[in-house]
Amino acid sequence: MSTRPEVSLAQRKRQLVADELTEAALQLLAVKGFDAVTVDEIVATAGVSKRTFFRYFASKEDVVVQFLAEMGTGIRTELAARPADEPASIALRHAVSVPVLACTDHPDHTERALRVVRLILRTPALHGRFLERRSQWADDLTEELAKRLGRDPDADLYPRLAAGMALTAFDVTLRRWSAGDDADEPAENPTDLLDHAFALIAPALDAAVKPG
């Protein structure tokens, strides 16, 4: 008898617990600040034991690192799924739009996501981990774009330059969106910001891709 349904159920349960812990941790960290939150507070909010927390994460910082890793996976997966004949600028915009759209799919999500982005960009330790993950994203996007175009990423400058431009547009969007404080006037729409950024870089991205 196959055990696949049971394995699938166990995986879904683990993912649910991980998601609950991630949500509790990120929101506490965003509201109170990284240094002010303890693991005890996170597990109390999530309704799990401390032992359960350490089964999934090595530390509260590791929650953020895993969150960033999953974000990068989503970006690469979307690029791989784009139509083969789609211009590079459109394919890359859709790819880096994945985390932005996840942040803005509901008004409540948008406000929570904005607090998390501010937390990551304004906490030196977390910003450092963000830069580490971003470097990995650049490698992944370079590899995926080279595969998509049939180019050698070691010999051809375009895939890495294009990946870097796309991620720079993403960075600029996050920084502009998270500028200011909650008391200021409403933050700009991150989707609009990303679209504007890609409108600026699209000519360079597409002009460098010659057919044939």
Please, which pLDDT band fits residue 10 given cuts at 50, 70 and 90? confident
Q: Are 37 and 76 found together in one domain?
A: no
The answer as to whether 174 is a domain residue is: yes
Position 185 in a domain: yes
Distance in angstroms (rounded) separating the CA atoms of residues 142 and 38 = 38
Residues 68 and 101 in one domain: yes
Query: How many domains is the chain partitioned into structurally?
Result: 2
**100 in the same domain as 52:** no
Render pLDDT for 93-137 as a digit per residue (tens, 0 to 9).
999 999 998 887 766 678 888 888 888 999 998 899 899 999 999
Would 196 be classed as within a structural domain?
A: yes
115, 190: one domain: yes
Residue 5 has pLDDT above 60, yes or no: no
Residue-wise pLDDT tens digits, 128-186: 989 999 999 999 999 999 999 999 999 999 999 999 999 999 999 999 999 876 555 66
Domain boundary among 11, 30, 57: 57
95 shares its domain with 180: yes
Please check whether residue 5 lies inside any domain of the structure.
yes
Domain boundary (15, 32, 57) is at 57
167 and 77 share one domain: yes
Assess whether 93 and 198 both reside in one domain: yes
- pLDDT at 212 (0 to 100): 42
Task: Considering only residues 212 and 21, tell me which one the structure prediction assigns the higher pLDDT.
Answer: 21
Q: Is residue 50 part of a domain?
A: yes
Residue 13 lies in domain? 1-57
Q: Are residues 65 and 110 in the same domain?
A: yes
Mean of the per-residue pLDDT values for the chain?
87
* Contact predicate 104/189, CB 8 Å: yes
Check whether residue 121 and residue 176 sit in a common domain: yes
Domain assignment present for residue 212? The answer is no
13-29: buried (b, 16+ CB within 10 Å) or exposed (e) per residue?
A: eeeebbebbbebbbbbb
Q: Are residues 185 and 82 in the same domain?
A: yes
| CATH code assigned at 149 | 1.10.357.10
Q: Is the pTM of this model over 0.85?
A: no
Q: Per the structure block, which two tokens stand in for 148? A: 């998509």
Does one domain contain both 24 and 72? no
**Same structural domain, 175 and 84:** yes
Secondary structure in 3-state letters for 34-92: CCCCCHHHHHHHHCCCHHHHHHHCCCHHHHHHHHHHHHHHHHHHHHHHCCCCCCHHHHH
